[in-house]
Amino acid sequence: MYVTRHGRLNHDRRNFTQQAGTAALAALSPLAVAAVTNQTPAPPATEVRLDGGKSNWRDALILDRERRVIAGSTAELAAAIRRGADLRIYTEFRHNEHIDPKSNNRELIKEVADFRITYLLDERWVAGIINLRQPIDLPNGFGPRPSMSFFLYNQNGEQAIARPYLDGGPAAGPPGPAPLDDHSAMPKYHQFDAWDTATNAPSSNFAYDFETYRFMVCDDWQEVYACAADGRALSGSLDTLAEEFSKGREVKVGISGLCADVTAATAQTAPTMPHEVFVHCGSCYYYTDQKQFMAASQPVVRVQPAIPMRYKSKEWDFGWLMPRSDGHVARWLLDPYTLKFNRSESRHAIRWFVR
């Protein structure tokens, strides 16, 4: 007997529904069940969000194109960072004004950058550094050489960039001040200085006139323990830190005075500005008999503390930390000029946050 394709498909559907049973149907996706039973698929269930449908991010400070405060306040931003808040900065710019001045494309580009390293300077000034980014060549891919894009933003909208190259190319000259780049085709770019251009670790400080600057914070970290540099407990409970990390909660640290030794060999020695550096941690460990907690940090960019924060020759480095609950910090730092690692240790007051 000849059976049409349509008839055969209906026959297969009836056989499927008779033989499969409820358990087999339940194992399939709604769209797959609809395909074999000739039913209209049920609408997807409403998404249940842990944040109640509201974003945890909010604007703490907004600047206009001229970097004037138009909403929020620097005090509000500093208070949030002091509580361990994460920082992202929203900006807007035109493609042919910021990316490719030779282009006819005036398309508006929106950017949100993640500043995983935050600084609180003198209890009143905030700066953030991007610590995980390679150079992006919009809109197609990456820049010409492998490097890190350590962009630094101050709360007043002043910016900076340090770019350690990772391909081991030889230096073409000594470190030190360098001529400014030609930005005549980019009038919104105002370069203040340039450093170490002929080395493996050039840097410069500048301001770009973005259409807006929104300093957004995610202020949902909870401080659960704080220790002095000598290991004395200052507040909170180490047991609480150990209990909460065991539940899978994230860990973040605020380390006081971390950059006290970041200075050029020729610089005048002077008291370091009070500062606290906040960094996310990855793997964490707790010795249950010794009652000792330690963590492996994300990459940290250390810069000589100042207001505003700026890169200068031989006054920055980067690497990884292992902070411990007794104030000990093991450091595995990279010289950006030579790409050679150096081990060191220091002691600091540390605040421990969970989320």
Residue 65 pLDDT greater than 90, yes or no: yes
In contact, 343 and 331? CB cutoff 8 Å: yes
Confidence (pLDDT) at 17:
42
Residue 1 pLDDT greater than 90, yes or no: no
pLDDT digits (tens, 9 = 90+) for 267-302: 555 678 999 999 999 999 999 999 999 999 999 999
Confidence (pLDDT) at 163:
97
pLDDT digits (tens, 9 = 90+) for 130-157: 999 999 999 999 999 999 999 999 999 9
Distance CA 222, CA 225 (A): 9
For residue 168, what pLDDT band results from cuts at 50, 70 and 90? confident
Confidence (pLDDT) at 59:
98
Burial status of residue 260 (CB atoms within 10 A of its CB: 0-12, 13-18, 19 or more): middle
Confidence (pLDDT) at 13:
43
pLDDT digits (tens, 9 = 90+) for 181-201: 999 999 999 999 999 999 999
Task: Report the relative pairing of strands 203-208 and 189-195 from DSSP bridges.
Answer: antiparallel
Global confidence as pTM? 0.84
Confidence (pLDDT) at 10:
45
Percent of residues, the chain, with pLDDT higher than 90: 81
Q: Is 50 left (phi over 0), alpha (psi -120 to 50) or beta?
A: alpha
Confidence (pLDDT) at 53:
61
DSSP letter at 317 equals: E
pLDDT digits (tens, 9 = 90+) for 213-247: 999 999 999 999 999 999 999 999 999 999 999 99
Confidence (pLDDT) at 272:
86
Tokens of 106: 């005036």
